[in-house]
Amino acid sequence: MDTSITFASLGLAEPLLRAVHDAGYTHPTPIQAQAIPRVLEGGDLLAAAQTGTGKTAGFTLPILHYLIQNPATSRQPGRPRVLVLTPTRELTAQVEESVRLYGRHTQIRSMVMFGGVNINPQITALRKPLDILVATPGRLLDHAQQKTLDLSGVEILVLDEADRMLDMGFIHDIRRVLRLLPAKRQNLLFSATFSDEIRGLAQGILHNPGEVSVARRNTTSELVSQRMVMTEQSHKRDLLSHIIRESGWHQVLVFTRTKHGANRLAEKLAKDGLTAAAIHGNKSQAARTKALAGFKDGKVAVLVATDIAARGLDIDQLPQVVNFELPNVPEDYVHRIGRTGRAGSTGSALSLVDQTEIKLLRAIERLTKQTIEPIVVEGWNPAAMVTGDSAPDAREKRALARLQGDLPAGRGGRRDAGTGREGHRPGQRDGQRPASAERRTGQDPRRGNARPQGARSGRDTGATSSGAPRRDTRPRTGQSSALLHKAD
Ligand code: AMP
């Protein structure tokens, strides 16, 4: 981050500087430093930025500045001056939350609009004057058709996460929306990836755009440590439960491929005593909002989500992301792990990989040009899981804990990988830990333990259900860093 650039030096109006200060931001992120001046100039913008880079403030702040500097002569109900289109309800709500956050010292009015909820409260809200509308395309078109919304006054259009909108099949809706807008307007297009389709869309919408980019195409943040553990599909649920419990992870976002899988996994984790919730498209908006709020304020330790539901979730400093299954599309891996390591903080992404997913793993590594580090999980004993004993003794651990024998050829996966390994070495007593995986990968080990109790099962409070003391009496602090070991 270039610390010589400040929000004040970007020329933003005083009420916005105050809001940014209230939010605790000291300096603009790179996307903000590049995008804000361009948007303030009034030109079109094509921005390559993933969620987590600070892109929302990158367009919200200059738009608010524009509205402050150019107040409407008469604000009309249901006739926004700025339209932000996003792919999902969650992202819509979060972008509008940012508008409110950064616009809190102004009189600017915003509204959020998405489908899956009763349309009538939205119709009522549209009877009030409105500056910024943040919407998903489908519901927006419903309102336009019912003439409860007038898009002829739009001066600035933002397409946020445009790549995702195309993935979700919104192209026709977007084109229909475009036909309802005045020809003369400023256009901003944000996308994490740049396919030919996105370039085509951009060409049709943007005029002589400035281009800003903060991450190379399909790159992952260097601040995220990426690791994987080989396991059988049938062991994944127990393994994940073990890792979360033993590491004391208090805020972990877990990705599954299917809605059904998300539900089943959340149920299993809850059965194991973890606080878990699933979030996906079949859930009502109220249920999704509740799960997200619980996750944000620490009541829910594990949020299990499908790709689409998780898209754009704005969760500050999420320390852990788990891929319960690898995504079919390698780009989705980049999106998923973009949930962590945000805005300069470090994070960790762990993938549970079975033999059938090795091809997907390789495709991800090719795309990101990074190797995902294979690791073993200390204390993981699939055999004991079958008997319900998840706390094997030290001898069992040494004999059974290492899964790297399952690793594919060429990934350093032989059972006796020779010297230099940093796993639980024979003869090493509990409590004598090797250097932490997080330290090697640059993660602050404090992060995983800030609120360990939030993720604990009753078993982890130091007593078994029968009241007997735990067999494993290691201190719980620092567990997160010691549990996962490098496999090579
Ligand atoms: P976004 O990429 O817009 O989803 O933003 C990611 C996260 O970064 C959000 O949680 C913001 O609150 C945070 N953020 C945005 N701008 C800054 C900044 N200049 N400094 C620190 N954090 C920021």
Measured in Å, residue 27 CA sits from the centre of ligand 1 at: 11
Residues 333 and 461 in one domain: yes
Residue range 354-399, pLDDT digits in tens: 999 999 999 998 888 788 888 888 777 665 544 344 343 343 333 3
Closest residue by CA, ligand 1 atom 10: 316
For residue 1, tell me if it sits in a domain: no
Measured in Å, residue 52 CA sits from the centre of ligand 1 at: 6
Q: How far is CA 127 from CA 71, 148, 149, 177, in A?
A: 19, 8, 9, 21
Residues 141 and 94 in one domain: yes
Residues 207 and 229 in one domain: no
Measured in Å, residue 223 CA sits from the centre of ligand 1 at: 15
Measured in Å, residue 340 CA sits from the centre of ligand 1 at: 12
Point out the domain boundary residue: 184, 213, 242: 213
Q: How far is CA 415 from CA 229, 233, 423, 429, in A?
A: 14, 20, 12, 21
Determine the atom of ligand 1 nearest the C-alpha atom of 56. 3
Per-residue pLDDT of the chain (488 residues; tens, 9 = 90+): 556 789 999 999 999 999 999 988 888 988 999 999 999 999 999 998 877 788 999 999 999 999 999 998 878 899 999 999 999 988 999 999 999 999 999 999 999 999 999 999 999 999 999 999 999 999 999 999 999 999 999 999 999 999 889 988 899 999 999 999 999 999 999 998 777 888 899 999 999 999 888 754 455 666 678 889 999 999 999 999 999 988 888 889 999 988 899 999 999 999 999 999 998 767 777 777 788 888 888 899 999 988 777 665 666 567 889 999 998 878 788 878 876 665 555 678 899 999 999 999 999 988 887 888 888 887 776 655 443 443 433 433 333 333 333 333 333 332 333 323 333 333 333 333 333 333 333 333 323 333 333 333 333 322 223 333 333 333 333 334 466 766 55
Measured in Å, residue 400 CA sits from the centre of ligand 1 at: 43
Q: Which residue has the tokens 């297009």?
A: 189
Q: Which helix (H) or strand (E) holds 106?
A: none
For residue 13, tell me if it sits in a domain: yes
For residue 2, tell me if it sits in a domain: no
Residues 198 and 237 in one domain: no
Number of domains in the chain: 2
CA 451/CA 433 separation, integer angstroms? 22
Point out the domain boundary residue: 213, 247, 267: 213
Residue range 135-194, pLDDT digits in tens: 999 999 999 999 999 999 999 999 999 988 998 889 999 999 999 999 999 999 999 877
CA 312/CA 129 separation, integer angstroms? 27
Dihedral of alpha carbons 192, 194, 200, 202, sign: positive
Residues 194 and 246 in one domain: no
Residues 186 and 230 in one domain: no
Measured in Å, residue 314 CA sits from the centre of ligand 1 at: 9
Q: Are 43 and 210 in contact (CB under 8 A)?
A: yes
Residues 381 and 287 in one domain: yes
CA 92/CA 135 separation, integer angstroms? 6
> Which CATH number fits the domain that encloses residue 415?
3.40.50.300
Residues 232 and 175 in one domain: no
Determine the atom of ligand 1 nearest the C-alpha atom of 312. 4
For residue 449, tell me if it sits in a domain: no
Residues 248 and 329 in one domain: yes
Residues 255 and 293 in one domain: yes
Measured in Å, residue 108 CA sits from the centre of ligand 1 at: 21
Q: Are 212 and 38 in contact (CB under 8 A)?
A: yes
Measured in Å, residue 162 CA sits from the centre of ligand 1 at: 19
For residue 218, tell me if it sits in a domain: no
Residues 325 and 280 in one domain: yes
For residue 402, tell me if it sits in a domain: yes
CA 261/CA 254 separation, integer angstroms? 11
For residue 451, tell me if it sits in a domain: no
For residue 3, tell me if it sits in a domain: no
Residues 6+ apart with CB under 8 A from 264: 237
Q: Which helix (H) or strand (E) holds 81?
A: none
Closest residue by CA, ligand 1 atom 18: 25
CB-defined site of ligand 1, < 6 Å = 25, 28-29, 32, 51-57, 314, 316, 342-343
Residues 244 and 208 in one domain: no
Rg (CA), the chain: 24
Determine the atom of ligand 1 nearest the C-alpha atom of 343. 8
The residue segments making up the domain with residue 78 are: 8-213
Point out the domain boundary residue: 213, 241, 270: 213
Determine the atom of ligand 1 nearest the C-alpha atom of 53. 2
Q: Which residues on neighbouring strands pair with residue 191, listed in sequence order? A: 48
Hey, which of 9, 17, 29, 164 would you mutate to test ligand 1's pocket, going by the most ligand atoms within 8 Å of its Cβ? 29
